[in-house]
């Protein structure tokens, strides 16, 4: 029901005149396969600025939805927002729980990273200027992918991501749930919100195939970064925007502290007063406009 609601709302909004890519000078190429499985979970959309020339900076975007619902098709607005500012946007689908629990989504993140390493120049992008971005569950995947590309790990898909030698220039991980395994830390919050996080943890981790206990660091990337003493490659700066009404705010502060300790001094958790979860998706509200202004200021500085 939740998936149907958001899909219906996003599809309906596509028909608004201001939602048309051509209005923003953007061209969209849909349903490109990044793995040859024939599955829609292994497809992506490219959002390309029409008038931009030369190799473009790339945004690899992972949609949110608690690892359980939504898709690149519900998150078209993020593709437009980045592309109209001159970025080539790679907006991806990935496997969802509970049908495919952890680590399926992280494996897909590794696969699309390998695809990007092989195809960035062919699609008109600059492999030296890649931004990994996402919100909520997508922010988790963005952080996990960055962990895999900067440290050697035992998981085969993590080794494959590291072996590309490709690293992001910057990461924008908004309103992220960076620690899935410990929903009990939200006990002080309202029961409704606690239940939502419990549902995410149950769907994403129940039935997960764990090769080792350490593998959970890729479901809980903040713990993965907190445990590290150093990384083998220099970490990029992270921009971690989150609303003060979002109970996930503490996760952003924890991740920023871990990254700064590891040498990513420019990483920052930015608070937005009275912002609920994923507030910046409502792109025309004052708090969202402020967040997007700060996001592009960060990217202009680092990318």
pLDDT of residue 18: 75
pLDDT per residue over 110-156, tens digit each?
Answer: 999 999 999 999 999 999 999 999 999 999 999 999 999 999 999 99
pLDDT of residue 5: 58
Per-residue pLDDT, averaged over 207-221, amounts to: 93
Helix (H, G, I), strand (E, B) or coil at 48: strand
For residue 266, give Cα distances in angstroms to 131, 195, 240: 15, 34, 11
> Rounded to whole angstroms, how far apart are CA atoms 113 and 149?
9
The CATH number of the domain where 53 resides is what?
3.40.50.1820
- The residues pairing with 29 across neighbouring beta strands, listed in sequence order, are 46
Side-chain-side CA neighbours of residue 96 (13 Å): 20
The residue segments making up the domain with residue 144 are: 2-302
* Tens-digit pLDDT profile for residues 218-275: 999 999 999 999 999 999 999 999 999 999 999 999 999 999 999 999 999 999 999 9
pLDDT of residue 13: 72
State the DSSP code for 233.
S
Q: How much is the average pLDDT of 2-22?
A: 71
Burial of 7 (0-12, 13-18, 19+ CB in 10 A): middle
- The confidence band for 6, taking pLDDT boundaries of 50, 70 and 90, is low
**pLDDT of residue 11 exceeding 90:** no
How far, in Å, CA of 152 to CA of 292, rounded? 33
Note the pLDDT of residue 24. Answer: 93
Q: How many structural domains compose the chain?
A: 1
Residue 238 to residue 291: CA distance in whole angstroms: 14
Spell 17-40 as b/e; 16+ CB within 10 A means b: eeeebeebebebeeeeebeeeeee
Query: 43-49 and 26-33 as β-strands: parallel, antiparallel, unpaired?
Result: antiparallel
pLDDT digits (tens, 9 = 90+) for 158-187: 999 999 999 999 999 999 999 999 999 998
- Reported as type and span, the H/E element at residue 159 is helix 156-163
């Amino acid at each position: 029901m939740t998936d149907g609601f958001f899909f219906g709302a996003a599809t309906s909004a596509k028909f608004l005149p201001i939602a048309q890519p051509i209005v923003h000078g953007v061209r969209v190429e849909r349903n490109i396969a990044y793995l040859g499985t024939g599955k829609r979970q292994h497809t992506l959309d490219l959002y390309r600025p029409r008038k931009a020339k030369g190799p473009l900076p790339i945004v690899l975007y992972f949609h949110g939805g608690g690892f359980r619902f939504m898709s690149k098709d519900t998150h078209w607005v993020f593709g437009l927002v980045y592309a109209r500012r001159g970025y080539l946007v790679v907006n991806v689908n990935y496997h969802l729980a509970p049908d495919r629990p952890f680590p399926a989504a992280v494996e897909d993140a590794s696969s699309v990273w390998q695809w990007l390493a092989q195809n960035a120049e062919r699609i008109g992008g600059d492999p030296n200027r890649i931004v990994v971005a996402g919100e909520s569950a997508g922010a988790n995947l963005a952080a996990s992918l960055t962990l895999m590309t900067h440290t050697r790990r035992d998981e085969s898909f993590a080794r494959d991501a590291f072996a590309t030698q490709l690293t992001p220039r910057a990461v924008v991980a908004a309103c992220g749930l960076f620690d899935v395994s410990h929903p009990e830390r939200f006990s002080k919050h309202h029961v409704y919100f606690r239940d939502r996080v419990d549902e995410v943890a149950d769907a994403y981790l129940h039935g997960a195939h764990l090769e080792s206990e350490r593998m959970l660091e890729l479901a809980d990337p903040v713990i993965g970064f907190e445990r590290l003493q150093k990384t083998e490659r220099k970490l990029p700066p992270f921009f971690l925007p989150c609303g003060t009404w979002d109970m996930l705010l503490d996760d952003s502060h924890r991740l920023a502290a871990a990254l700064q300790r590891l040498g990513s001094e420019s990483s920052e958790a930015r608070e937005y007063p009275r912002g609920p979860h994923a507030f910046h998706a409502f792109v025309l509200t004052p708090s969202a406009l402020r967040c997007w202004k700060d996001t592009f200021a960060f990217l202009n500085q680092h990318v």
